[in-house]
């Protein structure tokens, strides 16, 4: 029991160091941390918010490793909903896109972010963020009822993908 407790402590310490390294001034340190996190898969979940923030890194190589980590991670922790909802309004389209994506991966547990996601469907600057917000609301399902008006407006958007994703979300929210 002691050895497994020590192993868990060592892993959490390493993870904390990797998360902190995502904000290091040195690009190679950030890249190495993102690469290591990309190999952790679901074990990188505690780094979700930091990884989303790091999507906006000036280094393309760092950003690519960050996205790889996010792709392999799966859903974030439900406790990250509030922080992820705040990142929807980030000026970086990549940061906003990944915040929305992770909220959608939470499905019904992402419900506290429905207001921010509904606003993103209507108001996000980038079409990819608007589309992904509609997708996320569909993944959340019935708890996303408060966003139905935004989705109904998006149904008639000139962007065919947004309109289709909005229709699909409405069908999942109000079967």
What's the confidence (pLDDT) of residue 175?
72
Give start and end residues of each alpha helix (H) in 22-107. Answer: 27-38, 48-54, 60-73, 81-87, 93-105
Higher-pLDDT residue of 118 and 2 is 118
pLDDT tens per residue across span 76-97: 999 999 999 999 999 999 999 9
Structure tokens that stand for 25 in this block: 């001034």
pLDDT tens per residue across span 39-83: 999 999 999 999 999 999 999 999 999 999 999 999 999 999 999
Asked if residue 161 has pLDDT above 50, the reply is: yes
What's the confidence (pLDDT) of residue 10?
40
CA atoms of 169 and 167, how far apart (whole Å): 5
Cα–Cα distances in angstroms (integers) from residue 10 to residues 2, 3, 20, 51, 109, in the given order? 12, 10, 15, 21, 29
Instruction: Give the Cβ contact number of residue 108 at 10 Å.
Output: 12
CA atoms of 136 and 114, how far apart (whole Å): 9
Asked if residue 7 has pLDDT above 70, the reply is: no
Closest CA to 113 of 68, 75, 70: 75
Structure tokens that stand for 160 in this block: 């065919």
- Mean model confidence pLDDT for the chain: 93
Asked if residue 8 has pLDDT above 70, the reply is: no
Closest CA to 69 of 137, 132, 18: 18
């Amino acid at each position: 029991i002691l050895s497994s407790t020590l192993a868990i402590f060592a892993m959490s310490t390493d993870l904390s160091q990797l998360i902190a390294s995502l904000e290091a001034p040195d690009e190679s340190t950030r890249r190495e941390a993102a690469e290591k996190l990309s190999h952790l898969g679901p074990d990188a979940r505690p780094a979700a918010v930091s990884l989303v923030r790091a999507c906006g890194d000036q280094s393309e190589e760092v950003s690519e490793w960050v996205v790889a980590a996010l792709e392999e991670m799966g859903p974030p922790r439900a406790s990250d909903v509030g922080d992820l909802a705040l990142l929807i309004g980030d000026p970086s389209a990549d940061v906003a896109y990944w915040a929305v994506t992770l909220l959608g991966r939470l499905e019904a547990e992402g419900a506290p972010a429905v207001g921010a996601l509904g606003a993103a469907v209507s108001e996000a600057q980038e079409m990819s963020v608007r589309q992904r917000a509609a997708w996320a609301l569909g993944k959340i399902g019935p708890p996303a009822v408060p966003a139905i008006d935004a989705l109904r407006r998006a149904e008639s958007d000139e962007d065919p993908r947004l309109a289709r994703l909005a229709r699909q979300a409405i069908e999942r929210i109000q079967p």
